[in-house]
Amino acid sequence: MLNALWNDDAGGFHPASAPDFLPEKRLKEVQLRRLRAVVSRAYERVELFRTRLQERKLTPESIRSLEDIEQLPFMVKTDLRDTYPFGLFASPMSDIVRLHASSGTTGKPIVVAYTQADVEVWAEVMTRTFASCGLHRGDILQNAFGYGLFTGGLGAHYGAETLGATVIPISGGNTDRQIMVMRDFGVTALCCTPSYFTYLVERAAELDADLRDMPVKVGIFGAEPWSDAMRTRIEEAANIKAYDIYGLSEIIGPGVASECEAQNGLHVFEDHFYPEIIDPDSGQVLPDGEEGELVITTLSKKAMPVIRYRTRDITRIIPEPCTCGRSIRRIRRIGRRSDDMIILRGVNVYPSQVEAALLAVEGTLPHYQIILTREQGLDQMTVEVEVTPEVFSDEIRAMEQVRSRLAQAIERIIGIRVTLRLVEPRSIERSQGKAKRVIDRRGD
């Protein structure tokens, strides 16, 4: 399978031979066959799934067409918490070669498992990810996703090695060393969270190093939302092409979907991950093109099949074909989750909207935080944003200009005015992985 992905003569990824380029009819056949197999496996081996199907008087034989998936119950994050640590495993521990865990915000983590076959599928979808971001053998990839229980580091590692690229497994953190390695090892591509990359750029400048003078040409970013405005900032600051990749631990880790050279939506590797978009309130499946919650079914996972998993990520399927020629479906970039909505004076606000507004204004830096408080029963939002040293050290006038532009930009996007606090560079804590953009003090 992997050999089919690699074509030395073509200098890299060979779209026509990849399984996700199967003609639609053939792809649907593969999806149905795999769906039936995964449903049977979960029914036979996972009690929670079997009980839920029995309650609905369903059996694996009820799945006769792809549309029949809509009869199956959803899975949610609490299912993983309630069965902590191993309750959803469909393989004996002797067949499981890897465990990862995701910490989440409260209490116990969720644990996910992989058989050898699962690890191979993961390497394959990550190979496709890197290939569609333009990487090939000969590239030197600095992998600054965290290695450890987080899926980012090892997920990216195996994919890049399988592609034939040279991987530097530096993991997250130790930023000065990252910059030295990037320069001295001739790094051509780097992957990490977008927020960590903005810190790398900043720290490089402090060390009198400019990423624009280095051979790095591609950045592969994911694991947290980042706006198009953030992408523009990143691409300009480092003179790279910045790609968005998406995934989640419950499904496999990174490698569920990836942008291609068109940078216009993420292709879902739908021979392994079957996407649906639902109305988050009614649970009804929505037609392609409509925005809703992304639900994913793993079609080939052995150790921990996950069926109709409600990701909470909001997106839509893009019905039009992609200019890159790949026939697999795309989703819009994920700007928000259904659970990160803030209700402010009756208006729904998402942190990503605030980011887009902030970064559209000159004089701001890509470091900000949203602080939520509750006063007399009403939610209040304060946006803290760093401004450039020039703005900060200038007379009050420059600050006031930026403040008024920011207030207008935010009001234009979310419809209301918020409290703004302009702070000096380096006042907001830098993250080495996922940035903490929202500080919720409403319960304090």
**Backbone torsions φ then ψ of 138, nearest 5 degrees:** 105, -25
Single-letter amino acid, residue 201: V
Asked if 311 touches ligand DLL (CB under 6 A), the answer is yes
- Please say which residue, 249 or 369, places its beta carbon nearer to ligand DLL: 249
CA–CA–CA angle 322, 328, 329 (5° rounding): 75
3-state secondary structure of 244: strand
Encoded one letter per residue, x for contact with ligand DLL by CB under 6 A and - for no contact, window 89-108 reads: -------------x------
Please tell me the distance from the alpha carbon of residue 130 to that of residue 2, in angstroms, as a whole number. 13
Q: Does 219 participate in binding ligand DLL (rule CB under 6 A)?
A: no
**In sequence order, what DSSP letters do the residues of 424-436 get, joined into one string?**
-TT-SPP-SSS--
Decide if residue 15 touches ligand DLL (CB under 6 A): no
How many Å apart are CA 326 and CA 132, to the nearest integer? 10
Among positions 200, 334, 349, 409, the unique one binding ligand DLL when judged by CB under 6 A: 334
> Looking at beta carbons only, is 224 or 235 nearer to ligand DLL?
224
Q: Strand, coil or helix: what is 32?
A: helix
Tell me the sheet residues that pair with 347: 344
Question: DSSP 3-state assignment of 167?
Answer: strand
Q: Which amino acid, 72?
A: L
Query: How many positions of this chain bind ligand DLL (CB under 6 A)?
Result: 20
Q: Which of residues 63, 96, 144, 223 is near ligand DLL by CB under 6 A?
A: 223
User: CA-to-CA distance for 358 and 372, rounded, in angstroms?
Assistant: 17
Q: Tell me the closest approach of the beta carbon of residue 433 to ligand DLL, in angstroms.
A: 9
- Phi first, then psi: give them for residue 307, nearest 5 degrees: -115, 125
Could you tell me which stretch among 51-59, 144-152, 385-393, 417-425 binds ligand DLL (CB under 6 A)?
144-152
What value does the CA radius of gyration of the chain take, rounded to a whole number of Å?
22
Tell me which amino acid residue 401 is.
Answer: Q
Rounded to a whole number of angstroms, the minimum distance from the CB of residue 96 to ligand DLL is 18
Q: Which is nearer to ligand DLL, 6 or 150 (CB)?
A: 150
Q: What would the x/- binding string for ligand DLL be over residues 226 to 265, using CB under 6 A?
A: ------------------xxxxxx---xx-----------
Which of 98, 203, 217, 337 contacts ligand DLL by CB under 6 A?
337
Cβ closer to ligand DLL: 219 or 363?
A: 219
Dihedral sign, Cα of residue 183, residue 168, residue 125, residue 155 = negative
Binder of ligand DLL out of 115, 127, 151, 175 (CB under 6 A): 151
By the rule CB under 6 A, 13 interacts with ligand DLL: no
Beta-strand relationship, 438-440 and 364-375? parallel
Q: Which position's Cβ is nearest ligand DLL?
A: 222
Q: Which is nearer to ligand DLL, 13 or 122 (CB)?
A: 122
Q: Choose between 245 and 383: whose C-beta lies nearer to ligand DLL.
A: 245
Residue placing its CB nearer to ligand DLL in the complex, 28 or 77: 77
Closest by CA position to 221, among listed 202, 240, 249: 240
Length of the chain as a residue count: 444
Residue 36 has which token pair?
């039936």
Buried b (16+ CB within 10 A) or exposed e, 244-265: bbbbbbbbbbbbbbbbbeebeb
Min CB(91)–ligand DLL separation in Å: 20
146 binds ligand DLL (CB under 6 A): no
| Count of helices and strands (H, E) across the chain | 12, 23
Min CB(125)–ligand DLL separation in Å: 12
Q: Which is nearer to ligand DLL, 340 or 394 (CB)?
A: 340
Report in angstroms how near the CB of residue 423 gets to ligand DLL at its nearest. 25
Rule CB under 6 A: say whether 172 interacts with ligand DLL: no
- Candidates 76-84, 205-213, 219-227, 298-306: pick the segment binding ligand DLL (CB under 6 A): 219-227
- Type of residue at 141: L
Q: Is 292 among the residues that bind ligand DLL (CB under 6 A)?
A: no
Out of 118, 270, 313, 386, point to the residue binding ligand DLL (CB under 6 A).
Answer: 313
CB of 146 to ligand DLL, least distance (A): 9
- Which residues have CB under 8 Å from 443's CB, separation 6+? none
Neighbours of 351 (CB within 10 A): 22
Q: Is 432 in the site for ligand DLL (CB under 6 A)?
A: no
Indicate the residue type of 290. E
**145 touches ligand DLL by CB under 6 A:** yes
Q: Which residues are near ligand DLL by CB under 6 A?
A: 102, 145, 151-152, 222-225, 244-249, 253-254, 311, 313, 334, 337
